[in-house]
Amino acid sequence: MKALIYNNGIHYGERRMPEILNPKDAIVKVTLSSICTSDLHIIKGFVPRAKSDIVLGHEFVGEVVAIGDDVKKVSVGDRVSANCETFCGECYFCKRGWVNNCINGGWELGCRIDGCQAEYVRVPYADNGLTKLPDSVSYENALFVGDILASGYFGAEMCEIQKGDTIAVIGAGPVGLCAMMCAKYMGAGKIIAIDIDKTRLKIAQEQGLADEVFTPETCDITNADGVIECAGTSETFQLAWTIARPNAIVGVVAMYEENQILPLPQMYGKNLTFKTGGVDANKCDLLVKLIEEKKISTDFLITHTFSLDRILDAYRLFEEKPEGCLKIAITPTC
């Protein structure tokens, strides 16, 4: 089969077809995948756990074409969305919902084992890693369930939102936009979007996700009940605690390329709670249900589409990030 392989740079070429290696595995024919900023982080060498010579990609939907003997929840022929994380469901961390730290998994697909920017992919612990899609939910509707939507939900959940809360989201890119829609679903009264990119702020407003928008220079808020930091720069890290009111929660979803400084003397007395983390993507079934019930929609995030045989062009475009580019969907080669 064809695949996008990371091995000292990225290459598009032949890869052997994945096979069932464990009774809990499933093989999924990829019908749509996407490129994520984390893929770029791997290519740039910012992901210590990443292995070389792997197929990249961890955000996808598809059709189950084979299952191992112990797979119970999905069957051959099912349309599914996939979780970006692999988790056993049985270890200390999984039992508490902290699936990102599963001792038998974590971020594996497209990082340590072959991922989804290919024709087929092997999904370990398929009963945990796959969610069956109802007929009314299309592949496009569900493409982001297992990664950026799960990350946005995770960020909003970290803020322990109370009804009517003011929630500031730093970074109005794909994850930030998802965080806004999830914060709204959880009852936030006012959502403030902050980004350097005015096009993205406009999208946040047009989609009805943000009530107020600011660029960092114009942002003078100091009363956010919760802050979701999705941008990942030193400036946005500082902004995150600056705009939080005393006793607020700052949820850090962003992945940084360098160490950040917590100026504790300046922050003393503000009594903030910081939460950080790689997404515990344990709400995929709920997210599919919310999409089915039309309570949230991520369809507008797909701004570009490329077929798999043009994935190198897609990467080039994603890296350039032209104005208005949010997410690229990769379709099978026709």
Q: Measured from the CB atom, is 36 or 209 closer to Zn ion?
A: 36
Q: Measured from the CB atom, is 102 or 244 closer to Zn ion?
A: 102
Contact call for residues 42 and 35 (beta carbons, < 8 A): no
Residues 11-40 that bind Zn ion (CB under 5 A): 36, 38
Please state the closest distance from residue 36 (CB atom) to Zn ion, in A.
3
From residue 35 to residue 74, the character string flagging contacts with Zn ion as x (rule: CB under 5 A) and all else as - is -x-x------------------------------------
Q: Measured from the CB atom, is 175 or 224 closer to Zn ion?
A: 175
Alpha helices in the chain (DSSP H): 37-44, 92-95, 126-129, 139-142, 150-158, 174-185, 198-206, 234-242, 264-267, 284-292, 311-320
Q: Measured from the CB atom, is 34 or 166 closer to Zn ion?
A: 34
| C-alpha R_g of the chain | 19
Please state the closest distance from residue 129 (CB atom) to Zn ion, in A.
12
> Given the rule CB under 5 A, which of 84-92, 166-174, 239-247, 304-312 is the region that contacts Zn ion?
84-92
> Given the rule CB under 5 A, which of 2-10, 92-100, 181-189, 312-320 is the region that contacts Zn ion?
92-100
Taking alpha carbons only, the member of 190, 180, 291 closest to residue 230 is 180
Please, what is the end-to-end C-alpha distance for the chain in angstroms? 14
Q: Measured from the CB atom, is 30 or 188 closer to Zn ion?
A: 30
Q: Measured from the CB atom, is 25 or 147 closer to Zn ion?
A: 147
For 257-263, which contacts have Cβ atoms below 8 Å and span 24 or more sequence positions?
257/41, 257/44, 257/46, 257/232, 258/234, 260/234, 261/234, 261/237, 263/238
Candidate list 10, 66, 88, 219; residue touching Zn ion; CB under 5 A: 88
Contact call for residues 6 and 42 (beta carbons, < 8 A): yes
> Given the rule CB under 5 A, which of 15-23, 88-96, 122-130, 202-210 is the region that contacts Zn ion?
88-96
Count of residues in contact with Zn ion, rule CB under 5 A: 8
Taking alpha carbons only, the member of 222, 246, 219 closest to residue 235 is 219
Candidate list 10, 91, 219, 325; residue touching Zn ion; CB under 5 A: 91
CA–CA distance, 279 with 152 (Å, rounded to integer): 9
Query: How far are the Cα atoms of 56, 155, 162, 266, 301 from residue 203, in angstroms, in the given order?
Result: 29, 20, 25, 35, 10
Q: Measured from the CB atom, is 221 or 255 closer to Zn ion?
A: 255
Residue 94 binds Zn ion, judged by CB under 5 A: yes
Applying CB under 5 A, the residues found at the interface with Zn ion are 36, 38, 87-88, 91, 94, 102, 147
